[in-house]
A and B are shown apart, each in its own frame.
Chain A
Amino acid sequence: MTDVFAIRGLKKSFGRVNVLLGFDLDMRPGEVVVLMGANGAGKSTLVKIMCGSFRADAGQMTLNGKPYAPPNAAAALSHGVVTVHQSIDDGVIPDLDVATNLMLSRLTEPGARLMLRDKVLRKEAQAVAASMGLNVDVRQRVSDLGVADRQMIAIARAMAYSPKVLILDEPTSSLSAVEADRLFALIDRLRAQGVAILYISHRMSDIRRIADRIICMRDGAISGVFDKAPLDYDGAVSAMLGRKITQVDFEPQSGMAPVLELQNMTLRANSRPFDLAFADGEIVAITGLLGSGKSEFADIVFGLGKPRSGQMLLSGKPYQPRSPVQAIAAGVFMSSKDRASNAVIPAFDIDNNMTLPFFVKFSRLSLLSKKLQKRATENIIKQLGIVCRSGKDAIGTLSGGNQQKVMIGRWLLADCKVLLLDEPFQGVDIGARRDIGRHIRKTAIKRATLIFVSELDEALEIADRIIVLHEGSVVGEHLNAKVDMNSLVAQVSGTPREISMANL
């Protein structure tokens, strides 16, 4: 019996929706099992059963040969089954300092001291942080940290439970390449210590780096197992989607007249000024690591921030939006990143979520017309292939990828001059990503489209032109015809030699 953890015939349904239809899983010590699955395949439900948030309807789990059915999250933790959830804010307490966050599990242990000793707490926290390669002041409040640091703290906290089985649910979705490397190094260490790791992701680069075995999941059941080296990654993607993914094939367009021009723009105090122009009909990907200035760039164009210096022209006229209201009025739309906090209205159904920015268009004398809303949304639902019963479905009932389609569809309801898409493929599986990409390319004429992505794959798959940012400066520009991958990657990671050679 080498399996530390096993699942047999796990079933779960919500009302009439069957989410898991008999799932099996074996996990061995010192092995990284990658679980791949499209949005809505049932990954999250599986994780929630393993960590005690949900109870299975049928089937059993065993841990070290003994039956395992945690009634709640605390029980799962005490058994050494530790989960780092996808949503970072579930993993940290923003109003407390880093030290308390890292040591929280100690404070809840039975038999913990009544009085806190801050000095000791900080010292221990410092040790944990150091072992993770985490370089932060442990006295800082977590809410003051960036997303990536928060994610690392959530993971570091999980380590405090000395896990036997570690579940990582898309842990790199908000990490930069450097930070992801730190995480992989940690995973390597844990693997060497004999921890069984379940790693959930659709990022191929992650999977290539760490997978010992790949399990593909589709519609609540296993659709493929890959455990023979070398792992068949393409086969895994096909098994996950149930169809073959063809390479995206398109003619890069060079665009017509410039729509949006940036002149002498400086993003940060110490960054170099740059000039850029974005043309009609063109799709430009702006890429770079986390913190490279992509978000500042997008915010400035959408009126959420101000540049250090420089000016913008929209259709040749000066453009200085001071708020999203003004940007939208001028014909500049933006689909924000982090849809849960920035885009989704949880109380609304699909129709109202999608039409929200353009209620004026869908109302007569201020009275909203359901008929007008429905006509518009039905079209987008069909075009983007949003999986739902109707536009009346609550937004919360959709999977992540479908929610994202609604959020992007929102901005396709009206014509615009410039469309900004900030991380449009965040938490979206490759199938939904292609659906969105295809539609963006199809509708790209008569506007300039700017896509802000940190994944190069995503940029290469959709853009006519790729612009690389590093620490607030433009360090590279490539036409997406014959891209020199080496220099592109070097520019993204900011290798000094390449920057000096880069064509500015």
Chain B
Amino acid sequence: MMKHEKLLTFAIRFGFLLLLAGLAIYFSIAASGFASPKSAVFILQSVAITGILALGVTCTLVVGGFDLSIGSVATSALMLSAYSMVILEQSAFTAVCLCLAMGALVGLVNGLLIVKFRVPDLLATLGMMFLLIGLQRIPTQGNSIATGMSLPNGNVAEGTFSSAFLWLGRHRFDMFIEDLLPVPVVVFIVACVLIWVFLELTRHGRIMYAVGSNERAAALVGANVNRYKIAAYMISGVMASIGGILLAARLGRGDIASGNNLLLDSVAAALIGFAVLGAARPNAFGTAMGALFVGILLQGLTMMNAPYYTQDFVKGVVLVGALVFTFYLSAKRGTGHKT
């Protein structure tokens, strides 16, 4: 009885990470070439952008909200950066600043819709998602943006993606091996650390968890609940725009069709993160591990010749499994959560 209890506690706490390790070991043995720095970096690169978006949505989950607009914020940032460089002929720096400002603004509007106009979070951000998907197509009349494209007035676009901007998506830092670590991976790791420190170690992060757990109680102890909620959506918006910038820099063009999967993948990563370390709540470390888990699984399966069209199914299975793990097992344990 007692032993069973301990085992359950252990499983809830470390089960997911053990599964992750087991998976990595299995693929290393089963798929030749899986256990190499190149392959590890490839996995990291494949999850970096999703992971950055997922960290943002984690913040909104922490305050008890949800942000459906992150995917469209990312693609808007993609289009905006391309537009400002190729058509408006602005510098890389201006393009990046514009995108970040756009992300923050969208987050602010989301937050205000939810806090001031009392629109439920899912609906507000769903509305915003539609709005942005539509908006990003208007300036180019629904076309993708590429260097040298012809403009509606008959001229040819003079601007180009500056090399400084492309550096963001394509440069690789040397680490052990030359040209190993791509910039997006570094950005992802830095973002992980920053969001983790913010949520776990600062008082602001802790108050955001309080808002998510019992909003009314948080307000009655003098927390400015509205401001924290708006901040969470702004963080989410900015993170999504960073993701969009990195995607644009990798692609080198404003591709209207890219980034379709971003929303679902990043939300999945954040939700899978609930199961990590038995947290049973949104957390930055879990989100990063969740993103990594999906990345490892897909890379491993791909190397073992699983067809690409099974990918979404695999992700779905992992997500459902993680949710059962979180909500069923943790509820069975019956005690509260760790803090």
Q: A352-B339, A368-B202, A397-B336 are in contact. Are A341 and B221 (CB under 8 A)?
A: no
Q: Are A362 and B203 in contact (CB under 8 A)?
A: yes
Q: Are B336 and A356 in contact (CB under 8 A)?
A: no
Q: Are A348 and B222 in contact (CB under 8 A)?
A: no
* Binary A-proximity of B195-215 (CB < 8 A = 1, otherwise 0): 001000111101101101110
Q: Are A396 and B336 in contact (CB under 8 A)?
A: yes
Residue from the list B201, B212, B220, B224 in contact with A342, Cβ < 8 A: B220
Name which of B201, B206, B216, B335 has the most chain A CB atoms within 10 A of its CB. Answer: B206
Chain B residues positioned under 8 Å from A367 (CB to CB): 197, 201-203
Chain A residues positioned under 8 Å from B281 (CB to CB): 347
Q: A346-B213, A348-B209, A349-B339 are in contact. Are A324 and B203 (CB under 8 A)?
A: no
The answer for the CA separation of A349 and B213 in the assembled complex, in Å, is 12
Residue from the list B213, B224, B338 in contact with A345, Cβ < 8 A: B213
B217 within 8 A of A: yes
Q: Are B202 and A341 in contact (CB under 8 A)?
A: no
Residue from the list A15, A336, A351 in contact with B220, Cβ < 8 A: A336
Q: Are B214 and A368 in contact (CB under 8 A)?
A: no
Count CB-based A-B contacts (< 8 Å).
Answer: 96
Q: Are A347 and B213 in contact (CB under 8 A)?
A: yes
B5 within 8 A of A: yes
Q: Are B201 and A356 in contact (CB under 8 A)?
A: no
**Chain A minimum-CB-distance residue to B212:** A347
Q: Are B219 and A324 in contact (CB under 8 A)?
A: yes
The answer for the CA separation of A161 and B336 in the assembled complex, in Å, is 34
Within B289-339, the residues touching A (CB, 8 Å) are: 334-339
Name which of A16, A346, A347, A363 has the most chain B CB atoms within 10 A of its CB. Answer: A347
Chain A residues positioned under 8 Å from B217 (CB to CB): 336, 341-345
B257 within 8 A of A: no
Chain A residues positioned under 8 Å from B223 (CB to CB): 325, 356
A328 within 8 A of B: yes
A410 within 8 A of B: yes
B2 within 8 A of A: yes
Q: Are B221 and A410 in contact (CB under 8 A)?
A: yes
A359 within 8 A of B: yes
Name which of A328, A348, A366 has the most chain B CB atoms within 10 A of its CB. Answer: A348
Q: Are B336 and A345 in contact (CB under 8 A)?
A: no
Q: Are A348 and B213 in contact (CB under 8 A)?
A: yes
Chain A residues positioned under 8 Å from B224 (CB to CB): 325
B218 within 8 A of A: yes
Q: Are B336 and A349 in contact (CB under 8 A)?
A: yes
Chain A residues positioned under 8 Å from B209 (CB to CB): 345, 347-348
Chain A residue total in the interface (Cβ 8 A)? 36
**Chain B minimum-CB-distance residue to A351:** B339
Chain B residues positioned under 8 Å from A328 (CB to CB): 221-222
Chain B residues positioned under 8 Å from A341 (CB to CB): 214, 216-217
Within B152-204, the residues touching A (CB, 8 Å) are: 197, 201-204
Chain B residues positioned under 8 Å from A348 (CB to CB): 209-210, 213, 339
B77 to chain A, nearest CB (A): 28
A499 within 8 A of B: no
**Chain B minimum-CB-distance residue to A329:** B222
Chain B residues positioned under 8 Å from A16 (CB to CB): 2
Q: Are B336 and A395 in contact (CB under 8 A)?
A: yes
The answer for the CA separation of A356 and B210 in the assembled complex, in Å, is 8
**Chain A minimum-CB-distance residue to B204:** A366
Q: Are A394 and B335 in contact (CB under 8 A)?
A: yes
B122 to chain A, nearest CB (A): 18
**Chain B minimum-CB-distance residue to A364:** B203
A443 to chain B, nearest CB (A): 19
Q: Are A347 and B337 in contact (CB under 8 A)?
A: yes
Chain B residues positioned under 8 Å from A363 (CB to CB): 202-203
The bracket for how many chain B residues form the interface is 20 to 34
Q: A347-B281, A360-B203, A368-B202 are in contact. Are A334 and B220 (CB under 8 A)?
A: yes
Chain B residues positioned under 8 Å from A360 (CB to CB): 203
Q: Are B336 and A347 in contact (CB under 8 A)?
A: yes
Chain A residues positioned under 8 Å from B207 (CB to CB): 356, 359
Chain B residues positioned under 8 Å from A357 (CB to CB): 221-222
Chain B residues positioned under 8 Å from A347 (CB to CB): 209-210, 212-213, 281, 336-337, 339
The answer for the CA separation of A289 and B202 in the assembled complex, in Å, is 43
Q: Are B335 and A324 in contact (CB under 8 A)?
A: no
Q: A366-B204, A397-B336 are in contact. Are A324 and B220 (CB under 8 A)?
A: yes
The answer for the CA separation of A351 and B206 in the assembled complex, in Å, is 12
The answer for the CA separation of A343 and B213 in the assembled complex, in Å, is 11
**Chain B minimum-CB-distance residue to A13:** B1
**Chain B minimum-CB-distance residue to A341:** B216
Within A341-390, the residues touching B (CB, 8 Å) are: 341-349, 351-352, 356-357, 359-360, 362-363, 366-368
**Chain B minimum-CB-distance residue to A395:** B336
Q: A347-B337, A348-B210, A395-B336 are in contact. Are A356 and B202 (CB under 8 A)?
A: no
A74 to chain B, nearest CB (A): 20
A450 to chain B, nearest CB (A): 16
Chain B residues positioned under 8 Å from A351 (CB to CB): 339
B26 to chain A, nearest CB (A): 34
**Chain B minimum-CB-distance residue to A359:** B203
Chain B residues positioned under 8 Å from A410 (CB to CB): 221
**Chain A minimum-CB-distance residue to B9:** A15
A300 to chain B, nearest CB (A): 15
The answer for the CA separation of A15 and B212 in the assembled complex, in Å, is 29
A303 to chain B, nearest CB (A): 10
Q: Are B216 and A342 in contact (CB under 8 A)?
A: yes
Q: Are A366 and B335 in contact (CB under 8 A)?
A: no
**Chain B minimum-CB-distance residue to A336:** B220
Chain A residues positioned under 8 Å from B213 (CB to CB): 345-348
* Binary A-proximity of B266-304 (CB < 8 A = 1, otherwise 0): 000000000000000100000000000000000000000
Chain B residues positioned under 8 Å from A352 (CB to CB): 206, 210, 339
Residue from the list B201, B202, B206, B334 in contact with A14, Cβ < 8 A: B334
**Chain A minimum-CB-distance residue to B203:** A359
**Chain A minimum-CB-distance residue to B281:** A347
**Chain B minimum-CB-distance residue to A349:** B339
Q: Are A15 and B5 in contact (CB under 8 A)?
A: yes
B325 to chain A, nearest CB (A): 18
Chain B residues positioned under 8 Å from A394 (CB to CB): 335-339
Residue from the list B203, B204, B214 in contact with A346, Cβ < 8 A: B214
Chain A residues positioned under 8 Å from B335 (CB to CB): 394, 396-397
**Chain B minimum-CB-distance residue to A348:** B339
The answer for the CA separation of A345 and B281 in the assembled complex, in Å, is 13
The answer for the CA separation of A27 and B78 in the assembled complex, in Å, is 72
Q: Are A356 and B221 in contact (CB under 8 A)?
A: yes
The answer for the CA separation of A136 and B207 in the assembled complex, in Å, is 41
Chain B residues positioned under 8 Å from A345 (CB to CB): 209-210, 213-214, 217-218
The answer for the CA separation of A431 and B336 in the assembled complex, in Å, is 25
Q: Can you report 13 residue pairs joining A to B where beta carbons are below 8 Å apart?
A: A334-B220, A343-B214, A345-B210, A346-B214, A347-B339, A348-B339, A352-B206, A356-B221, A357-B221, A362-B203, A368-B201, A394-B335, A397-B335
Query: Residues on A close to B: CB < 8 A?
Result: 14-16, 324-325, 327-329, 334, 336, 341-349, 351-352, 356-357, 359-360, 362-363, 366-368, 392, 394-397, 410
Closest 4 CB pairs of A and B: A394-B336, A359-B203, A347-B213, A357-B221
Starting from the known contacts A324-B220, A352-B339, A366-B202, 5 additional A-B residue pairs (CB-CB under 8 Å) come to: A341-B214, A341-B216, A342-B217, A397-B335, A410-B221
